[in-house]
Amino acid sequence: MASAVLTAAAPVAAAAPARAAAGTEGTVPGCRSVAGLLAVPHAGRGVEWLREALQVAVALELATIPPYLCGWWSVGDRTSHVARLVRRIVGDEMYHMGVVCNLLVAVGGRPRIPDAALAYPGPLPGGVREEVNVYLSGLNRPFVRDVMMAIEAPEAPLARGLNSSPSIGHFYDDLMNAFRATAPELSSHGQLSERIGADVLEPVTDLDGVERAIEIIKEQGEGTTSSPDDAFGDDYPAHYYAFGEIYHGRQLRQEADGWRFTGAPVPFPDARPMARVPAGGWRDAPQRVQDLLDRFDTSYAKVLSTLEAAWTDGDARTLRSAVRTMGSLEAPALELMEIPVRGGSGTYGPQFRPPRA
């Protein structure tokens, strides 16, 4: 987690505040907000608290995947540096979701994944970073800054000013502290083992495993206390800094007075001009668009239900089936991104409407 503030300026301005919509859309069904969970005295944070907090964590990790997928799908040249950065981050987020699902199963819970799906646009689940409005769009600089960087922003990033809003990393810190204090019995029954992206999901059976799993989530997203690098992976920077390189058009480089986006150029790729999905989804769309949206949302609902079944049954084959179905989302998404919005600018794109919407 990045906790040292160095001198390079990399401002992150959030999109229009989501506070007005946060009352219902930002809550996870059956769970308190993160603020409500963190208001519970430490002595009251037992196994039930852990289960509730981990369900919120499932929703948080799931919420990042649709906007990142839209950004990746919109890039024309998938071999470009930016496309590879975003694709890797999508894989990391899928892995993070798998980790928190395993942790929830380990303490006797069951992930409720369709219930956790966010309706876009809206605030992050649980009221985390409630100033951030998460919307779906093709890749452009405002989207990178206002959604991608804003989601991943650490408490005190190495290359920008302080942000008073609590981060996802803060929530995970409290989760880890509750695991240590409670020391719950951890069951491997129902946990899954599977390669996801560049990482290998493994059952968590002791507190050391819990700590490592949570540190991976935090450091892949935010970096370490002294470096923007992903300490557990390869030479790629942590997500916040990778998105910063895309936004600023330069790689992050350590100089005598701190980290700055002054390194090698990072050309912004040509991208399909997918317009921002409006509240409530695309209304009065042409029939061809509506057919593609229905096809996409039906498959998305299947992804969510199959993921839930994978952890309900403890079956890695079901998880692989969900991943295959997720891959099938790309074709209708790309078709939508080629159709101009009627009466507007840009093109249509997937809306990732959850089954209950």
User: How many CA atoms, within 13 angstroms, populate the side-chain half-sphere of residue 33?
Assistant: 16
Query: pLDDT, tens digit, for every residue of 154-163?
Result: 765 554 444 4
Both tokens of residue 338? 């080629």
pLDDT value of residue 167: 67
What residue type is 6 in one-letter code?
A: L
What residue type is 141 in one-letter code?
A: R
User: 77 in a domain, yes or no?
Assistant: yes
CA-CA-CA-CA dihedral for 152, 329, 125, 43, to nearest 10 = -90
> Residue range 104-114: average pLDDT?
97
| pLDDT band with cut points at 50, 70 and 90 for residue 73 | very high
| pLDDT band with cut points at 50, 70 and 90 for residue 19 | very low
Q: Cα dist. 214→122, 167, 330, 342 in Å?
A: 25, 14, 30, 45
The CATH number of residue 90's host domain is 1.20.1260.10
Q: Cα dist. 124→63, 79, 105, 143 in Å?
A: 7, 30, 23, 15
Q: Which of 93, 153, 108 is nearest to 129 (CA)?
A: 153
pLDDT value of residue 28: 86
Both tokens of residue 250? 């330069």
User: How many CA atoms, within 13 angstroms, populate the side-chain half-sphere of residue 214?
Assistant: 23
| pLDDT band with cut points at 50, 70 and 90 for residue 357 | low
Which residue carries 């049954």 as its tokens? 313
User: How many CA atoms, within 13 angstroms, populate the side-chain half-sphere of residue 132?
Assistant: 31
The length of the chain in residues reads 357
Query: Are 206 and 186 a contacting pair, CB within 8 Å?
Result: yes
Mean pLDDT taken over the chain: 87
Q: Cα dist. 348→125, 131, 147, 180, 210 in Å?
A: 25, 26, 19, 47, 41
Both tokens of residue 175? 């989760």
Q: Which residues contact 283 (CB under 8 A, 6 or more apart)?
A: none
Q: What are phi and psi of 196, to 5 degrees?
A: -130, 110
Number of structural domains found in the chain: 1
Q: Which of 235, 233, 229, 232 is nearest to 259 (CA)?
A: 229
Distance of alpha carbon 316 from alpha carbon 115, whole angstroms: 21
User: 5 in a domain, yes or no?
Assistant: no
User: 188 in a domain, yes or no?
Assistant: yes
- Judged by average pLDDT, the poorest of 43-57, 141-155, 199-213 is 141-155
CA-CA-CA-CA dihedral for 178, 179, 184, 186, to nearest 10 = 150
Distance of alpha carbon 156 from alpha carbon 179, whole angstroms: 24
pLDDT value of residue 254: 86
For 159, other C-beta atoms within 10 Å of its C-beta total 23
Enclosing domain of residue 188 = 19-281
User: 333 in a domain, yes or no?
Assistant: no
Q: What are phi and psi of 274, to 5 degrees?
A: -60, 125
Distance of alpha carbon 260 from alpha carbon 127, whole angstroms: 31
Phi-psi region of 227 (alpha: psi -120 to 50; beta: other; left: phi over 0): beta
Q: Which of 113, 258, 286, 108 is nearest to 189 (CA)?
A: 108
Query: pLDDT, tens digit, for every residue of 297-351?
Result: 999 999 999 999 999 999 999 999 999 999 999 999 999 999 999 988 999 999 9
Say what the pTM is: 0.89
pLDDT value of residue 20: 34
> Residue range 203-229: average pLDDT?
80
pLDDT value of residue 230: 46
Strand partners, 299: none
DSSP summary character for residue 280: T
User: 40 in a domain, yes or no?
Assistant: yes
Query: pLDDT, tens digit, for every residue of 243-301?
Result: 999 999 999 888 888 888 999 999 999 999 999 999 999 999 999 999 999 999 999 99
Query: pLDDT, tens digit, for every residue of 113-155?
Result: 999 999 999 999 998 888 899 999 999 999 999 999 999 887 6
pLDDT value of residue 350: 99
User: 44 in a domain, yes or no?
Assistant: yes
User: 302 in a domain, yes or no?
Assistant: no
User: 184 in a domain, yes or no?
Assistant: yes
pLDDT value of residue 234: 56
pLDDT value of residue 206: 97
